[in-house]
Amino acid sequence: MITLSDVTKKRGNNRPPNTGFTSDVIPKANGSNTGVSVRYEYSPNKDWFVLRVSYGRVNKAKDILESNNIDYYLPLHYTIKIINSKKKRIIEPLIPNLLFVYAEEEKLKQMMLAKTSVGLLSYYFNHFERDKYGKNPPLTVNYYKMEQFINLTSIMNEHIKLVDNKDCNYKHGDCVRVTDGEFKGIEGRVARVSGQQRVIVEIKGLCFVATAYIPTPFIERI
């Protein structure tokens, strides 16, 4: 499997290994100067879906997706944990038990109905919308928002973190772009989180992810 650790490092960035590109994917640099899989290029026939994975079975889920030639993204991050009274830097999923899948709706539906997927994979539903039957549809993520999410969460920085929206003190709600530094190219909303100025990338209906501290000179309105 080719992972983000194989992407040519830009701006001196390091990137975490095994961030979830499928096999045979050759990463490339996109306009925001980050490594993004060629398979993630926009297709009008595909959507980004969010799937729940049964506890402890992410690797099995990845195997099933790969065997069905379905592309996925698993955001990982570095974190510090105390193990045997010693601090250790480990890699773990940023959002436990979730996978992001880029696929045609019908193809994904057929895979989800297969015996190998039952009890392993399930849709994450959009609780803010209802379909014509009055049910919550599967959550899909806007392509641009997903691109920003991938660009941010593929950067190896232990200060990137999930945040609660109520803890984000937004500055006028402005949309901004980071113009320099490790997070160059990231777009989102500028806010103060834990006393620091950061840029927030939102996956509506799911999560908010914050960069590390961003100096004001590195931010421009868009």
Give 159-195 pLDDT, tens digit per residue. 999 999 999 988 776 799 999 999 999 999 999 999 9
Q: What is the DSSP string of 70-127?
A: -EEE--EEEEEEEETTEEEEEEEESSTTEEEEEE-HHHHHHHHHSTTTTTTEEEPB-T
Q: Is the pLDDT of residue 200 over 70?
A: yes
Model pLDDT for residues 71-92, shown as the tens digit of each residue: 999 999 888 889 999 999 889 9
CA dihedral 158, 160, 165, 167 (to 10 degrees): 50
Output the pLDDT for position 159.
92
Output the pLDDT for position 173.
67
* 4-147: CATH topology: Alpha-Beta Plaits (3.30.70)
- For 13, the 3-state DSSP assignment is coil
The CATH architecture to which 160-221 belongs is Roll (2.30)
- Where are the chain's structural domains? 4-147, 160-221
Q: Is 40 exposed, middle or buried (0-12, 13-18, 19+ CB in 10 A)?
A: buried
Model pLDDT for residues 6-64, shown as the tens digit of each residue: 222 333 344 444 344 432 332 333 333 333 455 688 999 999 999 999 999 999 999 99
